Structure 1
Amino acid sequence: MQINQAERDALYKVIYSRRDVRQDFLDTPIEQAVIERILQAAHHAPSVGFSQPWDFILVHQPATKQAIKQGYEAASAKSALQFSPELRQTYQSFKLEGIVEAPLGICVTCDRERNGPVVIGRTIKPEMDLYSTVCAIQNMWLAARAENIGLGWVSIIDDQVLRDALNIPQRLSIIGYLCLGYVSHFAEQPELEQFGWLAREDLKQLVHEEQWQDKYSHQQP
């Protein structure tokens, strides 16, 4: 199957306009058919040994979202203390989640025991199943953007909060909690770039020919 130029251009448009959405969610419900398309896109991600180790927990209930939001707030307060005093206030001014506002939450897990102890491609790098699940999230993110739905990944939360709220067994690895919903607009730039927290790296500094070259010393905030 060949991809024509219009289809190619549409893919790149989706990639470049994808955003980590934390705010501006609308209360417009997402139709079941749209949710199904997004989940099917995730389910068609590449996976090591065709293991398909992912599961998706859909969260609609306000009480469940509120429990997860409380977990986020506790984790965010703890996280703020890790920044220097001059950056802490800026960090605390950011809105980094839309747990309650988004109509739909999706928790993505990885079953590392699926298909038994030996999986093609995991014999040397056993963490490949985790990476496969991240690929599923990326597919979901791009599919959501193609549906004009915002998606935000909430990483500032302890796994145990999600286990307790969503009855997730200890044997499953929690990869991410995602907030999905239609939004009033998509930002032209990623928010942290827009706010001056970090700039987009120059791709030329990140590409190496044949061997690694130490091109610059990276500075973290």
Structure 2
Amino acid sequence: MLKITQAERDAVYKTIFNRRDVRAEFKPDTIPDDVLKRILTAAHHAPSVGFMQPWDFVIVRSEQTKQKLKQGFIQANAEAETLFEGERKAQYSALKLEGILEAPIGICVTCDRTRTGPVVLGRTTNLDMDLYSSVCAVQNLWLAARAENIGVGWVSILHDEVLHQTLGIPEHIVPIAYLCLGYVSKFYDQPELEKRGWLKRQSLSSIIHEGQWQAKSHK
């Protein structure tokens, strides 16, 4: 049995607690190929339902491609801005919510829902388990990148059709996440949205339910 030492355990928790969504702090420094391979290898070792490994990784380096994705973000962000009102809208408008052009590398993580055929061990009851598995790959990638002192930003304000068209992703493949990767000038000591007062972190006690669901306040 492989035992985790206390130092190794502490390093894992340190990485988890210091993971951040990076937007404005990217540096132009190139990520070495061996470092990128380690990060992608970690992502590829995520758990997956039925061991189907439904993910693929589309690596984006082209400035032209990034410009097209940036335009897609601008359109989606303008749509999102209309959903907020008053002070919240002004606060939203002041936030930088992506680093598409600043990050030296973009990675689109996808899910091939047909990878191992129509019947997948463990997905027979909940058909979305393959999507959840791909999100596990995203988290593995994010934590591995942080352990390499590389920042990651998830660009969620982007329509899937923009990713399909710009990256040539087949119609049956589901884009899960477009991630911006690069070395950074700094990591915030708190999540940026928490630091800027968008929302506060929920207390652990408010989200734990013993035995059965209990009505609790989430303020």
Aligned to 1:47: 48
> Structure 2 counterpart of 1:90, which letter?
Q
- How far off is 1:85 after superposition? 2.5
SS in 1 for 2:208: coil
SS state at 1:101 partner: coil
Partner of 1:33: 34
Distance apart, 1:83 and its partner CA:
1.0
CA distance in 2, matches of 1:158, 1:133: 18
After superposition, what is the alpha-carbon deviation per residue over 1:18-58, rounded to whole angstroms, capped at 9, x for unaligned? 00011111110000000000000000000000000000000
What is residue 180 of structure 1 aligned with on the other side?
181
CA distance in 2, matches of 1:20, 1:160: 23
- Counterparts of 1:159 and 1:98, CA distance in 2: 18
Give the Cα–Cα distance (whole angstroms) in 1 for the partners of residues 84 and 126 of structure 2: 33
Aligned residues: 218
Give the C-alpha shift of residue 202 in structure 1. Answer: 0.3
Residue matched to 2:25: 24
Q: Indicate the residue corresponding to 1:155 in structure 2.
A: 156
CA distance in 2, matches of 1:109, 1:215: 36
Residue of structure 2 in register with 1:125 after alignment:
126
Give the AA of the match of 1:153: W
How far apart in 2 are the matches of 1:121 and 1:156? 31
- Deviation of 1:86 after TM superposition, in Å, equals 2.4
CA distance in 1, matches of 2:57, 2:146: 18
TM-score, scaled to structure 2: 0.98
Partner of 1:56, secondary structure, is strand
Distance 1:197 1:186 in 2: 18
Please give the secondary structure, in 1, of the residue aligned with 2:179. strand
Misfit runs of 4+, over 4 Å:
none
Give the match's secondary structure for 2:77: helix
Structure 1 unmatched runs, 5+: none
User: For the residues of structure 1 that align with 2:189 and 2:170, how far apart are their CA atoms?
Assistant: 39
TM-score by length of 1: 0.98
> Cα deviation per residue 1:91-150 (whole Å; 9 max; x = unaligned)?
010001000000000001100001000000100001000000000000000000000000
* Identity percentage of aligned residues: 60
Q: Which residue of 1 aligns with 2:209?
A: 208
- Equivalent position of 1:108 in the other structure: 109
Amino acid at match of 2:141: M
Name the amino acid aligned to 2:144. A
One-letter amino acid matched to 1:7: E
Q: Secondary structure at the match of 2:7?
A: helix
Distance in 2, Cα, partners of 1:111 & 1:20: 25
Q: Tell me by how many angstroms 1:153 deviates.
A: 0.3
Query: What is the letter of the counterpart of residue 33 of structure 1?
Result: D
Cα RMSD for the two superposed structures: 0.7
* Partner of residue 97, structure 2: 96
Q: Matches of 2:170 and 2:86 in 1, distance apart?
A: 38
Rounded to whole Å, the distance in 2 between the matches of 1:83 and 1:121 is 40
Q: What's the counterpart of residue 84 of structure 2?
A: 83
Secondary structure (helix, strand or coil) at the match of 2:185 reads: coil
